[in-house]
Structure 1
């Protein structure tokens, strides 16, 4: 048995059951170990950014890590953008990154690089195996570090000679998973007193606070105190749909967010950090806490925010006050000949989306147009683009579908974002995943056209316009999807999209709908 087999068996014992792979020569003993060991599903991805994005989506829905298998520093580098999104989502991910054999590194072969240095900016922990005897112990450490208590990306660098060693390190049995930090009673009492004294309080939610139990507790707090409920603009996973408490998503633009928060005198942070603008703009504030408002931190990303919210709800209302929950929304009349826009996509989802679906949003401007229509529709989880690095939607949908094989998954993608990681379609087809990819084809980096005006860079000339345009030539997304094995349809009107969505759901498996907007 190679040491690599001990590593794989140890990972399985820690609950890691899926490996998203794009291996090379230095990882061949890991490939062999995955082949010989039952209990780990190996999923080939044609690009490392697909593997890391899939691991992010899996972690958000499974609440435990998958692992990736990446080829040296360059392979890890190709996956960094979606590791950034995972880091911002506090998603537990374990990267296994191969490296040259220890004696080979000094020869400075073409693929030699600082693999650990490449991983470090997007990882909360990086470990390098120095000897084959520590392969299993370091695998356990990587899993433990991914759980936190502030969850995140853990990267383990594995030299090839440590993987191929026949030293057979011990296979380590399951170890306890680190728990988030408890919210202490004093903090709960302080926040409760502040809420009682405030005249216009805001409860600002992030991360796990936007899961169903967290929102339910937040709803009780709001009912007892009159607090307004807001959440981060980009949350890892939001529980939405009928019968669930809903919080308002903070506006994307800083001035919009400041107006929404208004004259609040108290901002209670639950699971997040005080809000800041996404970008800096000339003569605009970066911090979005209203001037003069008091800030109280109930829980941060490393804390058990759901338990903290539940304790706060009990302190304020002792189980007597419950929020009013709206009934399921009914879809408005559809005008089938109207030109398609994101709102009509939202209406069609309201009409056809199965209960307990999952939506992976990588559509930026168009996703914002879909979001409000299904707020009280069929129950679903909405996964946001937490780090702003586009190209997450289709890969994330792979991981979400593998974590929840009984649920329908939708990937909402802008055409610019989809072009980053369209190789994900091949993996969706190979694994026969129930993913409907909706590509909003506006043939432009639309949000950048907005931002160009907002930053005061002047009127765009022809060269600037071409840098933000995707229509010369236009991408044929139906042909691209079919080339990767995914059936495709195009819709230009509200009625065409509604019919295409019904057909895609009936067909099952991966599907592509191009929404020409």
Structure 2
């Protein structure tokens, strides 16, 4: 058995059954080994940013890592933006990064690069396999490291000669560390704060935005009057009718400051204290009010859901959670606007859907229009590196083939990873993509004003304009094998969205909306 076979067999034995890949010469023995291990599903993408984003979406929904197969340092570099998002989402991913044969590295071949430096940027677990016999154990260790709560990126570098060498051994799975329980004294201290009557906010983050955490947080709020918010960009938020509904912290610093007005205590549950997304002249970076005390109920790596449940038992033993009633928005009519397209989604969102949301400025109304829709999962742009929406939708659809995936995607960021449509078609994934086509980098138009840049005129505005020439997403999608239509009115969007949801496989709707700015 060669090293590649032992690696793949160990991954499968450790629960990793999908590998998103864009391979090259140094990975050919891994590719060949897929026929020897049919339990591993290989999913081809045409760009490494789709590979890594799909692995992110997969793991967010499957609660276990996918593998990626990346071609040396340049392949790793191409995937880094969506690995940044995955790191911020605390997503477990096992990257297998091919490298030159050990004896070849000293010749400084054209693709030679500093893979270790790239791996370090992910703030994860890193190892290079140095001999064929140890590859299986390296793979088992990588999976366990990726599954370390709340999840992280594991990078395993596989030199070509180690991959093709004989003597590979399959390793037994390694149990990952279990989440650290929160001590009772800390729970009691937070309970005292919640019962104090002083203005208190509980901020939910990693591990706390699923059903168990949401139900406990709702009980706490109902019994004590504390406010509960979800972090601005949750990795996975369960929401909809029958679950507690909490607002997310705003994107703009001014929104967060308003939400936290006069708050005396901020309790963090798998989250960090909010800071401004960017620096702005004359404005603070920290967004907690002056005099606000910050407390940690459960930190990353601790059992956040259990900590919330313990806190609920302490302050709300007989209190029931407040659940969102089913409610749908009225179906709008007329020309599409940034306001009226969102109610169409809320009115038609199917049961058990998964939303991959990168609608950006056009999607401001989506949280409100879908709050009472049937229960669904929301996956957001955790790290702010655009080009996530389409790949994450790919991964979510692979992880949950029986659930409808709705990708809400802005036009500019769609172009970063538009080749994800080809993978959707190749794999016949049940993804309905709605492109919010306002022909502009609208969010950057807003930021141009917010940073106080002076002298912005035609040259500056032209740099943020996507209408010269217009992009035809219908032709782009059809060219990649995805059926596509264009909607200019709410009625057309409703008809096309309903039809796409009713048909298996991928679909794209090019929704033409004016820019907010």
- Provide TM-score, normalisation by structure 2: 0.97
Residue 363 of structure 1 deviates from its aligned partner by: 1.6
Q: Which residue of 2 aligns with 1:332?
A: 330
Q: Which residue of 1 aligns with 2:359?
A: 363
Task: State how far apart, in whole Å, the 2-side matches of 1:506 and 1:251 are.
Answer: 34
**C-alpha contact 2:125 2:155 (8 A) present in aligned 1:** yes
Q: Which residue of 1 aligns with 2:187?
A: 188
Task: State how far apart, in whole Å, the 1-side matches of 2:466 and 2:178 are.
Answer: 46
Q: Which residue of 2 aligns with 1:310?
A: 309
Deviation beyond 4 Å, 4+ runs, structure 1: none
Residue 212 of structure 1 deviates from its aligned partner by: 1.3
1:408 has 2:404 as partner: yes
Alignment of 1:96-495 (within 5 A): 96-168=96-168, 170-318=169-317, 320-335=318-333, 338-495=334-491
Task: State how far apart, in whole Å, the 2-side matches of 1:145 and 1:59 are.
Answer: 14
SS in 2 for 1:36: coil
Q: CA RMSD in A?
A: 1.1
Which whole-Å deviations, capped at 9, do the CAs of 1:306-362 have from their partners, x for residues lacking one?
A: 0110000001122x1113323101322422xx2212433322222222111000011
Task: State how far apart, in whole Å, the 1-side matches of 2:74 and 2:435 are.
Answer: 29
**C-alpha contact 1:221 1:312 (8 A) present in aligned 2:** yes
Which deviates further from its counterpart, 350-359 or 16-25?
Answer: 350-359
SS in 1 for 2:407: strand
SS in 1 for 2:364: helix
Residue 282 of structure 1 deviates from its aligned partner by: 0.7
Residue 151 of structure 1 deviates from its aligned partner by: 1.3
Q: Which residue of 2 aligns with 1:80?
A: 80
Task: State how far apart, in whole Å, the 2-side matches of 1:92 and 1:344 are.
Answer: 37
**C-alpha contact 2:352 2:375 (8 A) present in aligned 1:** yes
**C-alpha contact 1:127 1:156 (8 A) present in aligned 2:** yes
Q: Which residue of 2 aligns with 1:49?
A: 49
The structure 2 residue matched to 1:503, chosen from 499, 506, 512, is 499
Task: State how far apart, in whole Å, the 2-side matches of 1:301 and 1:440 are.
Answer: 34
Task: State how far apart, in whole Å, the 2-side matches of 1:54 and 1:123 are.
Answer: 19
Task: State how far apart, in whole Å, the 2-side matches of 1:402 and 1:329 are.
Answer: 30
**C-alpha contact 1:198 1:265 (8 A) present in aligned 2:** no
SS in 2 for 1:349: helix
Residue 256 of structure 1 deviates from its aligned partner by: 1.6
SS in 2 for 1:35: coil
SS in 1 for 2:340: helix
Residue 459 of structure 1 deviates from its aligned partner by: 4.3
- Provide TM-score, normalisation by structure 1: 0.97
SS in 2 for 1:275: coil
Q: Which residue of 2 aligns with 1:89?
A: 89
Task: State how far apart, in whole Å, the 1-side matches of 2:264 and 2:394 are.
Answer: 43
